[in-house]
Structure 1
Amino acid sequence: MQLVEQYVRLYTGCQDMTQGAPVDISLAEVAELLYCTHRNATLTLKKMQNQSWLRWKPGRGRGNRSVLTCLLDPSELVFTVAKELVQKGDVQASRQLISHYQLTWPQLEANYSRWMSSQFGLRVSREKGNEKRVDTLRFFVDHPFQSLDPIRVLLRSQTHLVKQLFDTLVRFDPATRTIVGQLAFYWESDEQGKEWTLYLRKGVLFHHGHQLTAEDVCYSLRRLMASPSRHRWLARSILSVQSVDEHIVRIALQTSNRLFLHALSKEYASIVPRDYVEEMGEDFAKWPVGTGPFKLSRNDESMVVLEAFQPYFAGRPYLDRVELWCVPEMREEEAEADQVKLLQSVTGAGMGPAANGRERRGFFRREQSFQYVSLNGSKPGPLQDPSFRSTVASILSGERLRADLKGPRQPACAWGEVVPFLPEQEAQLSLPAVTSSGYAGEKLLLYTYPDEDHKEDAHWIQKSCARCGIAVEIVYAEPEELAQPDLLQAADMIVDSANVDERLELSLQEFVCAEALSIRHHLDERGLKEVEKHLNSLLEANAPKDREKAMTHILACLQERRTFVPLYSNRIEIEAHPHLSGISLDAYGWVDFSRVFVRA
């Protein structure tokens, strides 16, 4: 980086300098331009010459001037070095270099963005030496991954990586809508569903080489139950966990829980190695080890790299490597490599882009998750009044928001067809109608994440409320901050996203129980007790119709109190190159890396 800066200073400081043209100059003048001694100027020129950036012919004898020939345009050199840094894996240093010179050469940023866009997709290469083929799937993300600990993840992107790095005891199969074995191959329970015995596969390896045992399972579940865990709601019914022998675990529950296996299939309940977690301490969050199909080989500010875990018990993944480059400045309209488009690209080993768009295969689905705004009925203030809360809920129409903001926003689709979603409302409210509900002009605090879609939603809410005379102040907070109970309770409104997948009952349980989400904190005391009563009925119910009834009661309670207003679900679309197979979108709109392969 310093050598690049010195070259730019030398090139731009020399009068009449043009690319490839020799210029007469003395060593003393070079040293003056580089702000260094004659000796250091000589060393610097030698380094640049070794890089083939310039030619330096020192003058011989008194009065003979030296000759300098700069072979590269300085903007081209910056661009070339930035690309070399990316190829070496230092994305952040590359970005810093471009940012440093983007005012000097405005076109540099656009050229760099176009080049970066071309780097994503599935890339086929050959390892040097043995010519082994390596299939690498490359994404870009807008933030580094500070935590990949299953009990601490908050975002769906983090959760998706956890699924690649870890396994749970059992797995929910969306195709059959049943629980199937994962680390446990068999299980049984008593008639009341209060005591469960699980039998573990033998010979399962963690990424650091140690074999999975019942002690690891007991440690993982107890860790989930501990108070610092953000997801301890999953283990709320567990009374005790003990190992019967090296491969048998017995779990006693406080009350009957017919959704217990569903809870064990949740990513937050992934099994971790006790020895490694205790050894790593806080560093485990950034350098996790699991039993999953991929193992983590790199995690820093530039990228996350996953590599296929060869001895994976369920079969080695087809891909060799997955890279997630951290490029926060890359705008979506410039990027040909977000998840919507990146699977169009397959390069290397003679496989170029598809000849035309018709050859690509399209995949799409509407996320089962949905964006919503919650209204804090437990905080002293205007929203504690049910009538004013109802008034605000009427203002926040998901239909109007989708019509105004457009994009991939679709009608909210949560909990499928089992439980119809809360009906959207339309209302034309005036300032007198709002003030008559008891509102006296207090400013409402609206918290959300600083992501672009959340910002758009928050500003729409702010403007919609302002038209009716309601003042809203937007406060942005990072996910870790917004998961803090004190902040959740202090907010009047929160724009957030609910995690909903094919495990409908469990998703609803998470929505109302998770302490990292706003609903539990925004329900008034009476509403919370009523939801708890119906939730217990949901967990104890054997028959699907009884569980459906309990879900209906929970949603009706939330609707009656106007605790939240659904806004939209996103439509996810991708187009895949004809050489790519094994592609499907999960409920969160992500592609399972372990199933993707190249047909060529």
Structure 2
Amino acid sequence: MDTATTHYLRLATAKELSLKFHEAVPVTIESLSAALCCTPRNVKFILRKLEEQGFIHWQPGRGRGHHSEMTLLRSVNEALEESFLELMGRGKMKEAIELIGSTEKNDALRERLLNSLNKQMGFHSHAESSSGQDVLRMVRSRRLAELDPAFVYTAFETYLLGQVCSTLITYDAKTGTFLPDLAHMWECNEDQRVWIFYLRKGVRFHHGRVMTSRDVQATLERLRTVDSPFIWLYRDIERTEVVGDYCIRFYLSRPNRFFLNLLSCVSMTILPYDVDVTQQLIGTGPFRINEINETVLIISAFDAYYGIRPHLDRVDIWFVPNLGPYERHYELPGTDRLKLATDDTGSNSVDYPATGCRYMLINFRKAGIHHQLEFRQAMRIVFDPVALVRELGSNRITPANSFLPWKSAEHPWRESSLEDARELLYSSGYQGEKIILAYTVAKDQKEAEWLKQRGASIGLCIELQPFVEFLNVRETSEADLIIAEEVLEDDWQFGMINFFINKRNYFHICLSPDLQSIFYRKMENFLQQNEEQRSVMLNEAEDLLRDNCWILYGCHMNKKALLNQSLFGLHTAEFGFMDISKLWIKNQ
């Protein structure tokens, strides 16, 4: 915010001055000097500027014993709002968003500023400018997480990587088949231990160099070098052989029926061998990164893209931690927002019932009563899926007994009695000790408060541990229970095996080493099985979770997107996000 506004807010909020709105208050130059942390000479200069800009009325004292008087002409809220609008008008989005962060304790002002911010979000066609660019602006209610394909786990970042980078092949969820991408053809020998991929020619990375088979080889080697949590999935690959610039051969130690799935997933996003991805993310996708920092990610259409160039020219994604949900604005999964009218008139609606669910983790790394099966069975009743959907509703569409909605639909549902939970609590030896429940504010606030209330009704003392954005691994180590949500990839079998064996997710972090080894042993030969056999193995793994209450399933979620009717090319990418590479604006 500008200097004049900063000085005015210091004066207006200085308790020792006790200044009042539209009321003259006696002050001294010395007291103003202390409040502004500057010399008396500078105070007079600042006062003159504030009076010129209409912030104050200043009446200097005349003669010995006569105090000067100051009158505030604007309220603190007015000053903040005017400063915010000025910053927005000058295109200073970062400073404007930081100003919103300073209004946490003023809900009414925060709401107004967010409304103003959202008017600047959405789709903008700058046909009147020399560039003639179509720009999409979005806001996220958290910080940007890791964008390294070797380590990425969160849904939004995985989605972003799909807009910036490409894989050898892609998985088509509608047909259950694999389609060419960076590789135009592939083949394997009879026992599926040798695979050959033939690469497209002329595909360029964003820094201009043509992609070759050496980049594919280096991408796989990097997974090993950085000890990626995905590397377990690629352990059957003994070596790779570069056969010219546009052909690469993979040699496996044993047959692998899941091999195509592994080459279509985010971990095998092809990166240039000559660029350090930790310093600069370079891909071959439809968008290239122009700017990335903790406040904003700006991506622009890559004109040399080997596929169809995006209709949008630029996408600005702003990150505003502490941004709560506001239902009048369009939200993509994970609280992305675009400007909408306050009703549904003139908008398109896209529903995306997500594969995955909201659930509760048990922290077996911490000692406590939650290690008793009867206690976890009691918690399963407190976190009853039928009651959760019935009482909280909204985008909680169906009760969950699995990560897979079609499996949950087979369950004979009936609501459990809290009295049964009370008896199980007693049997577990629970004696009223505090149970810490960790959750993220933007997504899980209602569930957390609902659980605390239901627990209290049967004598269960739940203490809430809120986190503004991502759950903090170190701090959640003190929690007994954690509310989480898993949204699986379109290739749901990959999503589930990654959930069970990925060392960086919260499920793995909360399991004891003994429980971890159970899942590793169970999935030992997963990659060698056919699709039906893999489904059986994943069902058995979920049976373990259910029977032992190692996690407690909650509900399946609907990701609803509302977009203005001027938008066309509405296609969902993975996890239910809009595929921004296909969106376009019909100018009115």
- Structure 2 CA distance, aligned partners of 1:42 and 1:524? 66
- Structure 2 CA distance, aligned partners of 1:231 and 1:444? 37
Tell me the residue number matched to 2:148: 149
User: Are the equivalent residues in 1 in contact too, given 2:432–2:459 (CA < 8 A)?
Assistant: no
Shift of 1:368: 1.1
The one of 83, 86, 94 equivalent to 2:85 is 83
- Structure 2 CA distance, aligned partners of 1:99 and 1:554? 43
Q: 1:250 to 1:471 in 2, by over 3 A?
A: farther
- Structure 1 CA distance, aligned partners of 2:421 and 2:260? 51
Once the two structures are superposed, the pairs formed by residues 163-562 of structure 1 within 5 Å of their partners are 163-226=162-225, 228-277=227-276, 281=278, 284=279, 287-333=280-326, 336-339=329-332, 357-375=344-362, 382-411=369-398, 412=400, 414-417=403-406, 426-428=415-417, 429-430=419-420, 433-434=423-424, 437-441=427-431, 443=433, 448-475=438-465, 492-520=480-508, 531-532=519-520, 535-536=523-524, 538-542=526-530, 544-562=531-549
| Secondary structure in structure 2 of the residue aligned to 1:576 | strand
- Structure 2 CA distance, aligned partners of 1:460 and 1:397? 11
Task: Tell me the TM-score normalised to structure 1 length.
Answer: 0.78
Paired residue total: 569
Q: Bigger CA drift: 521-530 or 391-400?
A: 521-530
Query: 1:453 corresponds to which letter in structure 2?
Result: K
Query: 2:504 corresponds to which letter in structure 1?
Result: A
- Structure 2 CA distance, aligned partners of 1:248 and 1:276? 21
Shift of 1:140: 0.9
| Secondary structure in structure 1 of the residue aligned to 2:500 | helix
User: Are the equivalent residues in 2 in contact too, given 1:397–1:424 (CA < 8 A)?
Assistant: no
Shift of 1:164: 1.0
- Structure 1 CA distance, aligned partners of 2:374 and 2:74? 70
| Secondary structure in structure 1 of the residue aligned to 2:545 | helix
- Structure 1 CA distance, aligned partners of 2:274 and 2:436? 43
Tell me the residue number matched to 2:68: none
User: Are the equivalent residues in 1 in contact too, given 2:502–2:508 (CA < 8 A)?
Assistant: yes
- Structure 2 CA distance, aligned partners of 1:169 and 1:106? 48
Query: 1:594 corresponds to which letter in structure 2?
Result: S
Tell me the residue number matched to 1:115: 116
Tell me the residue number matched to 1:2: 3
Unaligned runs of 5+ in 1: 19-26, 55-69, 347-352
User: Are the equivalent residues in 2 in contact too, given 1:318–1:596 (CA < 8 A)?
Assistant: yes
Q: 1:511 to 1:8 in 2, by over 3 A?
A: closer
| Secondary structure in structure 2 of the residue aligned to 1:312 | coil
Task: Tell me the TM-score normalised to structure 2 length.
Answer: 0.80
Q: Bigger CA drift: 133-142 or 561-570?
A: 561-570
Whether 2:565 is the aligned partner of 1:578: answer yes
Q: 1:301-347: per-residue Cα shift (whole Å, max 9, x none)?
A: 3321111111011121111111112233443227524338989859x
| Secondary structure in structure 2 of the residue aligned to 1:114 | helix
Q: Bigger CA drift: 212-221 or 223-232?
A: 223-232
| Secondary structure in structure 1 of the residue aligned to 2:275 | helix
- Structure 2 CA distance, aligned partners of 1:476 and 1:367? 25
- Structure 1 CA distance, aligned partners of 2:348 and 2:193? 47
Query: 1:558 corresponds to which letter in structure 2?
Result: L
Q: Bigger CA drift: 44-53 or 221-230?
A: 44-53
Query: 1:318 corresponds to which letter in structure 2?
Result: H
Shift of 1:156: 1.1
- Structure 1 CA distance, aligned partners of 2:80 and 2:541? 59
Query: 1:588 corresponds to which letter in structure 2?
Result: F
Q: 1:151 to 1:423 in 2, by over 3 A?
A: farther
Q: 1:56-89: per-residue Cα shift (whole Å, max 9, x none)?
A: xxxxxxxxxxxxxx99998666534323423555
Q: 1:252 to 1:439 in 2, by over 3 A?
A: farther
Shift of 1:183: 1.3
Among all aligned residue pairs of Structure 1 and Structure 2, give the percentage whose two residues are the same amino acid: 23
Q: 1:188-212: per-residue Cα shift (whole Å, max 9, x none)?
A: 1222222222122222111122222
- Structure 2 CA distance, aligned partners of 1:422 and 1:195? 42
Q: Bigger CA drift: 295-304 or 335-344?
A: 335-344
Q: 1:447 to 1:289 in 2, by over 3 A?
A: farther
| Secondary structure in structure 2 of the residue aligned to 1:453 | helix
Q: Bigger CA drift: 30-39 or 522-531?
A: 30-39
Q: Bigger CA drift: 156-165 or 505-514?
A: 505-514
Q: 1:86 to 1:557 in 2, by over 3 A?
A: same
Q: 1:418 to 1:442 in 2, by over 3 A?
A: closer
| Secondary structure in structure 2 of the residue aligned to 1:593 | coil
- Structure 2 CA distance, aligned partners of 1:71 and 1:525? 64
The one of 564, 577, 584 equivalent to 1:590 is 577
- Structure 2 CA distance, aligned partners of 1:313 and 1:534? 41
- Structure 2 CA distance, aligned partners of 1:126 and 1:243? 47
Q: 1:33 to 1:225 in 2, by over 3 A?
A: closer
- Structure 2 CA distance, aligned partners of 1:328 and 1:358? 30
- Structure 1 CA distance, aligned partners of 2:21 and 2:468? 49
Query: 2:176 corresponds to which letter in structure 1?
Result: R
- Structure 1 CA distance, aligned partners of 2:134 and 2:446? 37
User: Are the equivalent residues in 2 in contact too, given 1:582–1:597 (CA < 8 A)?
Assistant: yes
Query: 2:3 corresponds to which letter in structure 1?
Result: Q
Q: 1:483 to 1:433 in 2, by over 3 A?
A: same
| Secondary structure in structure 1 of the residue aligned to 2:482 | strand
| Secondary structure in structure 2 of the residue aligned to 1:276 | coil
- Structure 2 CA distance, aligned partners of 1:32 and 1:442? 52
Query: 2:360 corresponds to which letter in structure 1?
Result: V
Tell me the residue number matched to 2:25: none
Query: 1:113 corresponds to which letter in structure 2?
Result: L
Shift of 1:102: 9.2
Once the two structures are superposed, the pairs formed by residues 26-45 of structure 1 within 5 Å of their partners are none
Tell me the residue number matched to 2:59: none
- Structure 2 CA distance, aligned partners of 1:109 and 1:479? 18
- Structure 2 CA distance, aligned partners of 1:114 and 1:221? 45
Shift of 1:501: 3.2
Q: Bigger CA drift: 517-526 or 107-116?
A: 517-526
- Structure 2 CA distance, aligned partners of 1:158 and 1:186? 28
Query: 2:429 corresponds to which letter in structure 1?
Result: Y
| Secondary structure in structure 2 of the residue aligned to 1:224 | helix
Query: 1:450 corresponds to which letter in structure 2?
Result: T
Query: 2:547 corresponds to which letter in structure 1?
Result: E
Query: 2:120 corresponds to which letter in structure 1?
Result: Q
Shift of 1:397: 1.2
Q: 1:401 to 1:43 in 2, by over 3 A?
A: same
- Structure 1 CA distance, aligned partners of 2:37 and 2:372? 69
Q: 1:236 to 1:473 in 2, by over 3 A?
A: farther
Whether 2:83 is the aligned partner of 1:94: answer no
Shift of 1:566: 1.5
Shift of 1:361: 2.5
- Structure 2 CA distance, aligned partners of 1:162 and 1:521? 24
Query: 2:164 corresponds to which letter in structure 1?
Result: L
Shift of 1:594: 0.4
CA-based RMSD = 4.6
